[in-house]
Chain A
């Protein structure tokens, strides 16, 4: 495989998945990638969960629409999008999981029963892995609908970049039919019946009889959904392994970044997922070529007294530039064949307006 280029990925792939720990600028990177692809003439959707309000404002999109929405014309003009299009969808977990219930359950009455169950109402937003599952489900559906050339997924915020890959498996572990059947009273084997009585007794002691009873009832109604869920997780895995997909890891130049990147890289290999690039965000690597302050001809007294202070600050920034450049080199080595590592500079504070996003988009397209 020849050298991978991010600019090439966003012109050719059907799906780009942006992973990364919370607070590294993942959402902004995903938005910039989408703008870059739309500027290159593609029909693009950016899919994000719980973004900072600012990004929704920047793109001019409301927070919880039920379907993807086209970004307003003034924004897409400002972003220099001409032949391409850019839609955005800020996913609402509740809406998406209600939609999934309606699709998966055969009859309307059954669906209504589940949707109005108070346990479901809590569970649908609280079950660990539900965010990730919801995102994967929506991604899968939208890609197959065929109205987009590229879907960029900003994975849900989490402490760990790997959560996105692990969560659906945890969820399907919970709903594994063997685990579930232990809660169901109607089993043929004596052992299973005894086990389920013991569990119901424990649940009763812990939650109170009323809740335990309702809970077992809920699990019963939900079994069919859980089973189809299980199939979906495997199918999604297969889909995400295809060559139409590219996984990107966004990280900040913190000391732990390299360790995290290595873990992530190993994990994607283990799961046979197409890892394509490290994006070292908020890096000073690109500063390495900037000049040191020097007294201009005819400088004022204030400039002359201030200059040594500025030089000290500049020396610190230069050290940071060298450090980040070294880190980038190590990431490139780690990426090996078939993947790459690029650096993006830190954005000016609070400047996540369209113009700034376009400058990041251009940097991505050219790298």
Chain B
């Protein structure tokens, strides 16, 4: 299950809440994010009081393993499997030229991440699966599409060989709606909704099944219609503080309606929640959501 959406919409909070909920229901979960070599901060790891997730899956809570998907780890795994020798793979990665090519070259970073994901998927569908559900906190929109679109792009370029085989294998997992789905987290605001609609289109083009949309931080409206009618002109006339918050629910409803009118996907609306106990509260709401945004099998 891929969790995606633009920065600042609460993607990692959603990922953590889903992980904890699935674990509570007895599922063995692997929670991952796409990371960068030099990262010293991970918003996802924070929910387990860690600065970073480990490079290889480690138990971070009962039923939950965590790992960061790093391009380099995936490239090393891949080279090892192709060259059938750890020594040559390490020597190859130690070569200055190859290292530079892999870190800056076309799609090699995505390829590394993709391969690491693939090995987790293989493990899951193997004879002794450690995980029943894999959650991936995906990077912002553009990077998500370059990852989900990777098989198609690269297969045009590299039609044969081990890379092509790995890409095709990954494609069969990711493009099967019974096995995998992407969930988009967004906010009930103008630009996030527009970007969410573009992302739905983009994911369709890369043939990634989309499970649904989570509209996060829907503001509650404390005012009655009469109160709005009475206060509205006064708020503008006096430029009172509180004006933005007063108008926010109106915009939020308009944008939610726009989202609904442009997509038939399931939409889950999450209210604004206090910062304290956020994950637990969100997991609680997801628990009673029907149908629950958790796939039965799948990644």
* Chain A residues proximal to chain B, CB less than 8 Å: 21-23, 52-54, 118-119, 122-123, 126-129, 157, 159, 170-171, 173-174, 176, 178-180, 182-183, 195, 198-199, 202, 205-208, 210-211, 254, 287, 290-293, 296, 299-300, 302-303, 305-307, 309-318, 321, 346, 348-350
Contacts and interface: CB of A to CB of B under 8 A. Distances in A.
Contact of A159 (B139, B230, B251): B139
A199 B97 contact: yes
A129 B106 CA distance: 10
B100 interface: yes
Contacts of B160: 208, 210-211
Nearest to B91: A198
Contacts of A180: 97
Contacts of B159: 208
B98 A199 contact: yes
Interface string B223-257: 11011111100110011111111110001000100
Contact of B227 (A54, A202, A210, A305): A305
Query: Lowest 8 CB-CB distances: which A-B pairs, in order?
Result: A208-B161, A306-B227, A314-B242, A350-B190, A182-B97, A314-B241, A302-B226, A313-B245
Contacts of A195: 95, 97
A350 B187 CA distance: 13
A122 B152 CA distance: 12
B28 interface: no
Given A159-B7, A313-B245, A314-B241, A303 B230 contact: yes
B100 A174 contact: yes
B107 A126 contact: yes
A328 B225 CA distance: 38
B8 interface: yes
Interface of B: 6-8, 78-79, 82-83, 88, 92, 95-98, 100-101, 103-107, 109, 139-140, 142, 146, 153, 156-164, 189-191, 194, 222-224, 226-231, 234-235, 238-247, 251, 255
Given A52-B191, A179-B97, A309-B222, A208 B157 contact: no
**Which of B146, B242, B244, B251 counts the most chain A CB atoms within 10 A?**
B242
Contacts of A199: 92, 95, 97-98
Contacts of B191: 52, 54, 350
Given A122-B157, A199-B95, A293 B140 contact: no
9 contacts: A53-B194, A202-B92, A205-B82, A303-B230, A306-B224, A306-B228, A310-B240, A316-B245, A349-B247
B222 A211 contact: no
Given A205-B162, A292-B241, A314-B245, 13 more contacts: A53-B194, A54-B194, A122-B153, A123-B106, A126-B153, A170-B103, A207-B161, A292-B240, A302-B224, A310-B240, A316-B245, A349-B247, A350-B191
Contacts, number: 179
Nearest to B84: A205
Contact of B241 (A176, A302, A307, A317): A317
A309 B109 contact: no
B170 to A, nearest CB: 16
B11 to A, nearest CB: 12
A105 B168 CA distance: 37
A176 B194 contact: no
B242 A349 contact: no
A183 B101 CA distance: 10
A122 B242 CA distance: 50
A129 B108 CA distance: 13
Contacts of B189: 349
Given A122-B153, A205-B83, A310 B235 contact: yes
Nearest to A293: B240
B245 to A, nearest CB: 4
